[in-house]
Structure 1
Amino acid sequence: MKEISFLNSRMNAVSMKETVALIKASIEKGVFFQHVVVNVAKLVNMQSDKVLHESVQACDLINIDGQGVVLGAKFCGHDIPERVAGVDLFHELIAMSEKEGFPIFLLGATQEVVEKTQEKVRQLYPTVIIAGYNDGYFWNDEEAVVDKIRKSGAKLLFVAITSPKKENFINKWQDKLGVNFVMGVGGTFDVVAGKVKRAPVWMQKYGLEWLYRVLQEPSRMFMRYLVTNSKFAVLLLKEKLVKKAKPKPKD
């Protein structure tokens, strides 16, 4: 796995195809494999949230999701093959699980959304084995849900809970989940269930999904993206200046 260091974070510069192959190989070996994606908001929050930073850095594979991170990393001289969007990777892994017979577990969102998600997954992938599912409101009895996941026999666990809760939950319970692979998928269940519309393909291609969300929910999202993107721009400039200041190695 090609690894880079960007904005005080280790992450992997790999393609979607390489990502799926790495995860499949790990599941076949029967070893625990923890995955996470990073976007602009998460990278910015990781600068001040030590627990989130540690949880992300503890993962075996850190994919670059946000197009802003892809462009920012390239701006600082890193070679990034492509963006690996979490929602796209979710579908790729479900398809792989259906083909290989790997049972999956869906965890997160509201009861209504997770139920609609598992129904949609069954429609799209008729022979996939859904070992179980549970909503994301279980914080009064985490152990019971962990026990449910372990007893389900699932090999892949998809966690649709907001950051930093999902990263910290996975990091805390990874040894007791009984699965081979865990991935935090954020708002993916909302998209799959049809609660949230995803941006058109052309906007995804040009990294404008954030703008699409602002247009959908201007009062809630405008200030969030304005603050986050401004902080990211400052971090990028600092990273670029530090890199320029470093002396080049002599031949």
Structure 2
Amino acid sequence: MKRIELFSCPMDVATGRETVELIRNRVEARQFTQHVVVNAAKVVHMQRDIVLAASIRACDIINIDGMGVVWAARMLGVDVPERVAGVDLFDDLLAMAAECGFPVFLLGATSEVVQATAETIGGRHPRLIVAGYHHGYFWDDEPAIVEKIGASGARLLFVAITSPKKENFIDRWRAQLGVDFVMGVGGTFDVVAGKVRRAPVWMQRYGLEWLYRVIQEPGRMWRRYLTTNLQFAGLLLKAILRMPRRQVH
């Protein structure tokens, strides 16, 4: 696994399997690990949000999620083996946690969604220990939630809160969480609980998951994706124009 810089954003070039094995080894060694996935929107927001940028740079593992970022890296000459989608990595890590006996804690989404997520993953992975869960609306008493997580005995923590709140929360409390691994998973709980459908595989392969989200939630998503996708395209164009012509792929 090697780390690269793309538009001032650090990223680890790795496969999903390599990532899971690295996390397993670090958890077994009780080596705290903060993980994040980056997509086009997150790369764009990092350019002007210095707190978010610092939170991401503090992470131990930074995977590439979003085919747009994968394609951009390849166009700039970086050999990216595959996209490591957060929702897929989440399920792979649950399988690993069940196999190794690592308890997990779920934090985020609504009360109904996080409960449904806990029940669903328990059905998928019968040996999995869900040490606890809590909804994502706790900002009036963050210390109490941090204490609850620490008292649960969880080894892995998954945080399903929107960016940049989740990255900043994790970075702010990392020393007090009492877990060995923490990962922001965005809207993954909504997908697992069945509230939001995931895009068909062919749309995932062609980098069109964002379009599928817009189709499902046009009022909330179209402006966000249009704006960030255009800004990301602008970053890529500037980077290409700065390259020696013979290096452009």
The answer as to 2:49 corresponding to 1:63 is no
Deviations 1:192-249 (A, max 9, x none): 000000001111111110111122122332222111111111100111222338x9xx
Counterpart residue identity of residue 158, structure 1: F
Three-state SS of the structure 1 residue aligned to 2:243 is helix
1:209 aligned partner = 209
Any unmatched runs of 5+ in structure 1?
none
- TM-score where L is the length of structure 2: 0.97
State the Cα distance separating 1:83 from its structure 2 match: 0.1
CA distance in 1, matches of 2:193, 2:106: 12
Counterpart residue identity of residue 234, structure 2: V
2:25 aligned partner = 25
1:121 aligned partner = 121
CA RMSD of aligned residues (A): 1.4
2:151 aligned partner = 151
State the Cα distance separating 1:98 from its structure 2 match: 0.4
2:88 aligned partner = 88
Three-state SS of the structure 2 residue aligned to 1:62 is strand
Counterpart residue identity of residue 40, structure 2: V
CA distance in 1, matches of 2:107, 2:150: 13
- TM-score where L is the length of structure 1: 0.96
What is the percentage of aligned positions where both structures have the same residue? 62
Q: Which runs of 4 or more aligned residues in structure 1 lie more than 6 Å from their structure 2 counterparts after TM superposition?
A: none
Deviations 1:164-199 (A, max 9, x none): 000000000000000000000000000000000000
Counterpart residue identity of residue 244, structure 1: P
CA distance in 1, matches of 2:220, 2:178: 38
2:42 aligned partner = 42
CA distance in 2, matches of 1:24, 1:217: 36
Counterpart residue identity of residue 215, structure 1: I
Counterpart residue identity of residue 14, structure 2: V
CA distance in 2, matches of 1:114, 1:244: 49
2:169 aligned partner = 169
Three-state SS of the structure 1 residue aligned to 2:35 is strand
